[in-house]
């Protein structure tokens, strides 16, 4: 008997770092380049990423096109 393993993840809202272009899970400091991001930035971009593979996805998908994780 084989059980199909489905990765269940969730869609995570992240901020795109204006300095290095990486996406970061909180709005205050970039974990990639160390830049401090000010809370009141109006030009910051929000992105949605897969919680499993951390790649950028659309906000309304039900599964990740990159790693097939399910968000439902």
Instruction: List the interface residues with Zn ion, window 36-55 (CB under 5 A).
Output: 50, 52-53
Tokens at 67, concatenated: 């790693």
Cβ atoms of 29 and 17 closer than 8 Å: no
Q: What is the b/e burial string over 24-50, where b = at least 16 CB atoms within 10 angstroms of the residue's CB?
A: beeeeebeeeeeebeeeeeeeeeeebb
The reply to whether 14 sits near Zn ion by the rule CB under 5 A is no
Q: Which of 17, 23, 37, 49 binds Zn ion (CB under 5 A)?
A: 17
Q: Which of 19, 29, 45, 56 binds Zn ion (CB under 5 A)?
A: 19
Q: Which positions lie near Zn ion, rule CB under 5 A?
A: 17, 19-20, 22, 30, 32-33, 35, 50, 52-53, 64, 66-67, 69
């Amino acid at each position: 008997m084989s059980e199909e393993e489905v990765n269940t993840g969730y869609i995570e809202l992240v901020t795109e770092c204006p300095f290095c272009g990486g996406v970061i899970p909180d709005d205050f400091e970039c974990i990639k380049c160390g830049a401090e991001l000010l809370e009141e930035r109006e030009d910051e971009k929000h992105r949605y990423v897969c919680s499993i593979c951390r790649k950028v996805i659309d906000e309304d998908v039900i599964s990740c096109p990159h790693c097939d994780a399910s968000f439902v």
